[in-house]
Structure 1
């Protein structure tokens, strides 16, 4: 039977039967197959398109637009597109009910492949004349703006030729727009449109229609699922206000006016607008306003409480100085502007009686100096001599320290900009000032002096090296403060790079010569740390490392101190690069003598005291390329296995050899190593050895290459564990912990096999005897530690392994909960706490409805670790998803009040008070009023807590609860 769309009866069907709209796919099939021409379809719809009732004409246009939407974009030819365009243009003159589907349809038409931009020359005048944009509904206005944007994106050159009539149409269309979603689209469109299309005589009109929105005063509804934020609108509006230089005077007058208001957001938006405007406006635009701008900026940079406002003001000053500096060689305005800033800041510094006042002036100058080469050179030349004089006036110690730091900041600014030659005369005497500072006994002076000397190291003359070294070596030998000792070593390192021969003679072969050390063990260790640090410098490596190796090889009584110093310094990647460690091993053979020393010492002393030696071996091997690691394994594995067979204490040697290997390294001994590791992990009486055994098993599984190598080790593991005696009560806790390590290793590498072992761990949560061990295993799986299963040891680390653990644990825990004994519930909740503690916030938010009851139940117990996690997650829910906990407020509040008196931990008390504050700050007032008086009474004891931080948080929480229901609160909307 012939379909209705081939007949004039189609019009009647559209008007009478709404189900025809669901059959448009059949029409599309007939059109595409060539059985129906789209122009014939229009003729068959004539009855509905020209019907006397606007409601029916609207139905007809909606039907036709739906057909157009479903057509392939490449189906219509140019003539058909032109015909349909004229058809839609004619429909714009129809009743206002018909306009929405016309707009929607024309949007689709623009996206057709054969749409020619010339078609819009007829469409736009009719649109602007016949359709009053602001009289339309929100979505229809949005479609009008979208049509303009699509047309400009399609051919901006053609749109330019439409002249000011097109610009006027846009201005008229948007004038009065208030919907935030529409404004966001408009601002994004206008920021490019204004730059591309000449505005002609409509510059002022365009600026006026945009500037009426500045500053954005808008607060989205919390219930809006697709809300636009105030910041979204403000960020989109800002580029529009300064899109073209013609907006210059009007824009700057506007931002100065808003800067002088009392509204914080108006100030911040104005400062951001100033920053943005500097990308577009010419320097000449700002010249008449420089005095007013500086006055406003200086006021905002002096704000004592609002850090964000100060930061944006500094950013605005930097942008303005950088813009004006481009005219430094052609205009006096920049020099005058810079002079005004300099005088104002110098006055602030000269009159400073506190460090905060000094820093305020110094930050202004540093912001200005960092903005351009010209300002940097001028300020450095003026302020370095002035600050040196200020230091020598013997003001308060804190101000003198601040002045030294300021000199270092100025020097670094000049150095970064490559201007040291220009300011050489002014900075040349800074090291002498540093020497005066470090010559004082006070730590604060020495720290500041060394800190500044490190920054101005290029100015350090050879004549000052000896006095500095005398002070530095004294500090190395006698300083009890770790910070002073650390910076002293750093300073010697800096001087050694600049004057290697002097430091070699004065320090390495002089005061710190390993052959002439005193018997003072403390001084000896400090000197060793210094020498090892210097060994990272090429000029010193050979001399120092060879002396240290000699002490280790000779088994000198000081060998343990040498190993400790080498491990401490060589593990610092900022001092010893991977390449440097590899070079030391290649040139001096570090690993073999240290291993020989360890073998001798293991049998003679407590193996725990040899930790530095094992760590040194591990770090060194980890720095080597795979081929060198392979050679070391082949050389040292047989002896390590032989010794370990007699004594578990020697397992530490195997662990330090095999743990840092690259994943590509493999040998036939791996299976034997896995057997030994399992034996130690389950059978050793030494807890430290068992821990290392588990750790090595995890490393082997994590790094084994995919395929046969991994399968071989994995099957061996399963066989060996299947032979374990599950009835041995002493063995079960060790097995559970080992399962945790295996789960972690497999999970981190992304292997599906982790599930088998995780099920074993979770299964023991329901066992009263071993539930605590299961919780520890879960904690291990979720924890991070740089000493194992880390990138440092070349382990495989899946990016989403924590999310995967959360999802898997969540499913397994649901099944377990049904059969869980009541006495095991605390351990069950503790396991949840360990998982939630490391789970990403986005995961928690998505699963809030499931997690919230678990968190609320956890507040009932007194386990500190569980409480801290639970309170932290509860705070997140209150802030992000209060609806998930609002129904349980009667349960939550008493438990939080109880925890404010939790005497085992100050952190728990603080966190519970923070939760109470967030509840008062985020919940609807109607939820809180019934509890207000009880909470205020219950919080009173916390105001007298013995800890200051608890009292402070209690005051904050109680003050917020006092405001619940106060006049002006608007939290029920």
Structure 2
């Protein structure tokens, strides 16, 4: 109780002792525990608060403000808060030195639970009269804006009542603000302020204060740790400029003016502002500006190179059409605007001589049509007949095909906006055109015609089905082109969903003769692919699956083709859902039939690999209980057969590889032991690989806890007893280590490090380093058919980043390597770099660049492509390590620009040389210029055109180094 704040000497202590500011938390504690009250504290501070010297009063206010900010928000009573508020408001008339502490203190007061909003009016009145906001520091200005925002959140109704004096004061306070952090804060709450607080006669003043920042011309300081970007400011400013309908005229005049600017950023900001404004302004606001707006938008849409500008122009056009459509039945402005677009673009379409010109014009029409239901109806009604006529002109095959795509796009929009009934006369003509197109025996026309037909399938009438099926079935039976076959099957599938009875009669029981499926050998595999595709449709499933499985069960020599067709179609999850596959297996015993067929044929000269895939994919789609039933039915029999022939293990693997994580039977332990035995000792490569994969799946899917520990211990015990001195066994062990590591890192288990260390150790052994690098490749590679979520495995999105970090740590301990071992070591890094996100590489810049530079000495295509790509990434980032090593890098890249074994390596090398010339300072590059120009000359005569093109680009950039007017990189 002897603390100084209990005594009248407190004022003197604050003046003389700066360390007292460190004791404010003790003051707060004494206030909360009621050892002292605020009134007494203020009385003890009277000497400093009323001191003649501004410096002392400032110090006193800072001390008291610090106490306020540390008090709990709900501690002070209504009367205490009111007393303190009044005290702080009075201090606004004090010396300018005191103002910062007053603003900070009042920022704390308004967040008090018992703050009285009625004191806000007096605060703002004195604030705007006594304090010139823009002559305060950045933080003080921020506090003023913060107080306005916070009080609006606290009681918007009261803030509305403050009237025009408050609005004027606030406008004056922010007029001239230049700090980007304050501006971003202002811009983020100004739209709400403008919408909620009545501006009265100050609308124009408010707009002028905001619009002076438009368009944003700002670049953050290079040393700013948390910079506000130009784009941040531009994005936040736009909603301010179109916050209320009353801003419309001012805003539109401004953006029309800036759209005419030669500055790209001004145009971009204006297009985005136009898009934003369409959400707020009234349609009639745009009427006087429509002609000018369309002219500006059309000009920006026509840019050939600037995709960002084109996209912004399309967005603005769509938004403008959308808002104008609200007056579609009230005045002619909307219809005239859309018809103006139509006339302009119809002319452009008619005059198009290239696909690019045609697509450019039609994209504008699609953007306008996508703007509203009304514009879609107008454009669709007009353009479908026009394009039908355009097609008949036979301008060129490419333009005719492009016109089909456009018709499909128009139909999709008409369907989206639900105007198919309004445009029925026009859209009903589309299938007839498709028939005309596909009747030509030209692949490109048929593919385009069928794809368009699939899009407009809803308007296909029955009278056209037969002629379409004639063409389609001819393709299925006779075409040798994979793309045409694929799209023909997709088209029959689409027609079958609309007209199942007709396709059943014409195709399934007709041309495909389902009851005598394999008697006609002509184009059998194509017909089987079509039938297995149609089997995904409910009306066809029973008939087709039954007949196909009859062939499988009948010892028919064509059964492998049936299995292949079923496997390919049922692997497509867009055709066959899990529910559908479960239904097929339950109703027709699909897995049982395929297992029986494989058991019968596996020792004959029959390819049964598609059967394994079909079993695995089918089981992946089944629920856990059905999986258990199938495993129980087949496991014991197949395990017995595995004792005599390793081939049977492949059936076992296909049954178990896709089981759910929750499925576990006692047989799993025996299968795990068998898999380990075969992974290392089977004479069949396919069996060894599949055994490794199944071991990996078991480890990955085992439930956390006892089950995982059991498998893991079984694995370690088995491998502990393996001889590491067996030269034939070691390569097989390394492959197994790779699969084990991949399985464990994907499930997020730290145990992967033990196995990764074993692989890394092999990299220093010349005899096994190649296998070690292949194991690293396996770990980093995508493997959609193994260890995937489709097979119910655990997968980690960030496992490659984790692999990179741990591989870097483990390889750091390796001794210096030479020859083949060093090449394998570098190749391992290449596999890691290739799959690791580039941003992660920034954590080890020096080490990575060193590895990449060393790799340029080896003639390994896979190694070189990755490492040159990594170098390019660091060059583009203007990495200092690269610039300091140019004497080493440049000769190696020049040598690789003539690398005979790979065109890709030559192109990459030249690209890297170009990037170096484009990224580093002239003073750094100039000493190398003449040598590079001389050395690149042979590449100009390379036998490959793409290499020559890149050589010209690289050599030209090097030639420009040091030239007058050169655009020097920063």
Correspondence 1:164 to 2:180: no
Q: Against the structure 1 CA distance between its residues 45 and 259, is the aligned structure 2 distance closer, same or farther, given a 3 Å change threshold?
A: same
Deviations 1:752-801 (A, max 9, x none): 32222222222333333222222222222222211100011011113332
Deviations 1:910-952 (A, max 9, x none): 3344444444444455544555555455444444443333333
Residue correspondence of structure 1 range 716-755 to structure 2 within 5 A: 716-755=714-753
TM-aligned CA deviation for residue 956 of structure 1: 3.8
Question: Distance between the aligned counterparts of 2:141 and 2:920, measured in 1?
Answer: 36
Cα pair 2:149 2:189 within 8 Å, conserved = yes
TM-aligned CA deviation for residue 412 of structure 1: 1.4
1:833 maps to: 830
Cα pair 1:882 1:922 within 8 Å, conserved = no
TM-aligned CA deviation for residue 91 of structure 1: 3.1
TM-aligned CA deviation for residue 47 of structure 1: 4.2
Cα pair 2:569 2:575 within 8 Å, conserved = yes
Cα pair 1:249 1:285 within 8 Å, conserved = yes
Q: Against the structure 1 CA distance between its residues 586 and 265, is the aligned structure 2 distance closer, same or farther, given a 3 Å change threshold?
A: same
Question: Distance between the aligned counterparts of 1:10 and 1:834, measured in 2?
Answer: 70
TM-aligned CA deviation for residue 487 of structure 1: 0.7
Cα pair 1:531 1:544 within 8 Å, conserved = yes
Question: Distance between the aligned counterparts of 2:372 and 2:815, measured in 1?
Answer: 68
Correspondence 1:482 to 2:479: no
Cα pair 1:377 1:419 within 8 Å, conserved = yes
Q: Against the structure 1 CA distance between its residues 820 and 310, is the aligned structure 2 distance closer, same or farther, given a 3 Å change threshold?
A: same
Residue correspondence of structure 1 range 75-94 to structure 2 within 5 A: 75-94=75-94
1:644 maps to: 642
1:696 maps to: 694
Q: Against the structure 1 CA distance between its residues 130 and 937, is the aligned structure 2 distance closer, same or farther, given a 3 Å change threshold?
A: farther
Q: Structure 1 stretch 900-909 or stretch 685-694: which is displaced more? A: 900-909
Correspondence 1:866 to 2:854: no
2:419 maps to: 419
Cα pair 2:171 2:209 within 8 Å, conserved = yes
Q: Against the structure 1 CA distance between its residues 864 and 799, is the aligned structure 2 distance closer, same or farther, given a 3 Å change threshold?
A: same
Cα pair 2:918 2:969 within 8 Å, conserved = no
TM-aligned CA deviation for residue 630 of structure 1: 0.6
Correspondence 1:625 to 2:614: no
Question: Distance between the aligned counterparts of 2:58 and 2:884, measured in 1?
Answer: 47
Q: Secondary structure at the match of 2:763?
A: helix
Question: Distance between the aligned counterparts of 1:255 and 1:76, measured in 2?
Answer: 51
Question: Distance between the aligned counterparts of 1:220 and 1:970, measured in 2?
Answer: 22
Cα pair 1:845 1:880 within 8 Å, conserved = no
Question: Distance between the aligned counterparts of 1:972 and 1:389, measured in 2?
Answer: 53
Question: Distance between the aligned counterparts of 1:111 and 1:886, measured in 2?
Answer: 54
Deviations 1:199-227 (A, max 9, x none): 11110011111111111122223332211
Residue correspondence of structure 1 range 312-331 to structure 2 within 5 A: 312-331=312-331
Cα pair 2:661 2:793 within 8 Å, conserved = yes
1:875 maps to: 872
Question: Distance between the aligned counterparts of 2:59 and 2:772, measured in 1?
Answer: 66
Q: Structure 1 stretch 328-337 or stretch 15-24: which is displaced more? A: 15-24
Residue correspondence of structure 1 range 93-242 to structure 2 within 5 A: 93-242=93-242
Question: Distance between the aligned counterparts of 1:79 and 1:226, measured in 2?
Answer: 41
Question: Distance between the aligned counterparts of 1:119 and 1:748, measured in 2?
Answer: 61
Cα pair 1:858 1:867 within 8 Å, conserved = yes
Q: Against the structure 1 CA distance between its residues 783 and 467, is the aligned structure 2 distance closer, same or farther, given a 3 Å change threshold?
A: same
2:388 maps to: 388
Q: Secondary structure at the match of 1:646?
A: coil
Question: Distance between the aligned counterparts of 1:854 and 1:57, measured in 2?
Answer: 64
Q: Against the structure 1 CA distance between its residues 431 and 210, is the aligned structure 2 distance closer, same or farther, given a 3 Å change threshold?
A: same
Q: Against the structure 1 CA distance between its residues 219 and 954, is the aligned structure 2 distance closer, same or farther, given a 3 Å change threshold?
A: farther
Question: Distance between the aligned counterparts of 1:915 and 1:231, measured in 2?
Answer: 30
Question: Distance between the aligned counterparts of 2:883 and 2:146, measured in 1?
Answer: 41
Deviations 1:825-845 (A, max 9, x none): 443333333233323344333
Question: Distance between the aligned counterparts of 2:966 and 2:279, measured in 1?
Answer: 41
Q: Secondary structure at the match of 1:101?
A: helix
Q: Against the structure 1 CA distance between its residues 90 and 573, is the aligned structure 2 distance closer, same or farther, given a 3 Å change threshold?
A: same
Cα pair 1:845 1:881 within 8 Å, conserved = no
2:651 maps to: 653
TM-aligned CA deviation for residue 699 of structure 1: 0.5
TM-aligned CA deviation for residue 681 of structure 1: 0.5
Question: Distance between the aligned counterparts of 1:82 and 1:853, measured in 2?
Answer: 68
1:375 maps to: 375
Q: Against the structure 1 CA distance between its residues 712 and 432, is the aligned structure 2 distance closer, same or farther, given a 3 Å change threshold?
A: same
Cα pair 1:256 1:292 within 8 Å, conserved = yes
Cα pair 1:926 1:972 within 8 Å, conserved = no
Q: Secondary structure at the match of 2:592?
A: helix
Question: Distance between the aligned counterparts of 1:748 and 1:137, measured in 2?
Answer: 53
TM-aligned CA deviation for residue 507 of structure 1: 1.5
Cα pair 1:8 1:44 within 8 Å, conserved = yes
Q: Structure 1 stretch 24-33 or stretch 739-748: which is displaced more? A: 24-33
Question: Distance between the aligned counterparts of 1:333 and 1:514, measured in 2?
Answer: 61
Q: Against the structure 1 CA distance between its residues 325 and 910, is the aligned structure 2 distance closer, same or farther, given a 3 Å change threshold?
A: same
Q: Against the structure 1 CA distance between its residues 520 and 542, is the aligned structure 2 distance closer, same or farther, given a 3 Å change threshold?
A: closer
Question: Distance between the aligned counterparts of 2:965 and 2:191, measured in 1?
Answer: 37
TM-aligned CA deviation for residue 318 of structure 1: 0.9
2:781 maps to: 783
Q: Structure 1 stretch 858-867 or stretch 655-664: which is displaced more? A: 858-867
Q: TM-score, normalised by structure 1?
A: 0.95
Cα pair 1:848 1:881 within 8 Å, conserved = no
Question: Distance between the aligned counterparts of 1:105 and 1:823, measured in 2?
Answer: 71
Cα pair 1:913 1:953 within 8 Å, conserved = yes
Question: Distance between the aligned counterparts of 1:346 and 1:408, measured in 2?
Answer: 17
Question: Distance between the aligned counterparts of 1:962 and 1:65, measured in 2?
Answer: 65
Q: Against the structure 1 CA distance between its residues 933 and 125, is the aligned structure 2 distance closer, same or farther, given a 3 Å change threshold?
A: farther
Residue correspondence of structure 1 range 398-417 to structure 2 within 5 A: 398-417=398-417
Correspondence 1:949 to 2:923: no
Cα pair 2:878 2:919 within 8 Å, conserved = no
Question: Distance between the aligned counterparts of 1:972 and 1:348, measured in 2?
Answer: 40
Correspondence 1:909 to 2:902: no
TM-aligned CA deviation for residue 881 of structure 1: 7.0
2:362 maps to: 362
1:458 maps to: 458
Q: Secondary structure at the match of 2:276?
A: helix
Q: Against the structure 1 CA distance between its residues 76 and 54, is the aligned structure 2 distance closer, same or farther, given a 3 Å change threshold?
A: same
Q: TM-score, normalised by structure 2?
A: 0.95
2:283 maps to: 283
Cα pair 1:9 1:44 within 8 Å, conserved = yes
1:446 maps to: 446
Deviations 1:719-778 (A, max 9, x none): 211221122111112112212211211221122322222222223333332222222222
Cα pair 2:215 2:266 within 8 Å, conserved = yes
Question: Distance between the aligned counterparts of 1:46 and 1:109, measured in 2?
Answer: 20
Question: Distance between the aligned counterparts of 2:916 and 2:36, measured in 1?
Answer: 64
Question: Distance between the aligned counterparts of 1:194 and 1:649, measured in 2?
Answer: 77
The total of aligned residue pairs comes to 970
2:613 maps to: 615
Q: Secondary structure at the match of 1:271?
A: helix
Q: Against the structure 1 CA distance between its residues 765 and 474, is the aligned structure 2 distance closer, same or farther, given a 3 Å change threshold?
A: same
Q: Against the structure 1 CA distance between its residues 282 and 877, is the aligned structure 2 distance closer, same or farther, given a 3 Å change threshold?
A: same
Question: Distance between the aligned counterparts of 2:889 and 2:845, measured in 1?
Answer: 16
Question: Distance between the aligned counterparts of 1:640 and 1:631, measured in 2?
Answer: 15
Correspondence 1:72 to 2:69: no
Q: Against the structure 1 CA distance between its residues 74 and 697, is the aligned structure 2 distance closer, same or farther, given a 3 Å change threshold?
A: same
Cα pair 1:765 1:775 within 8 Å, conserved = yes
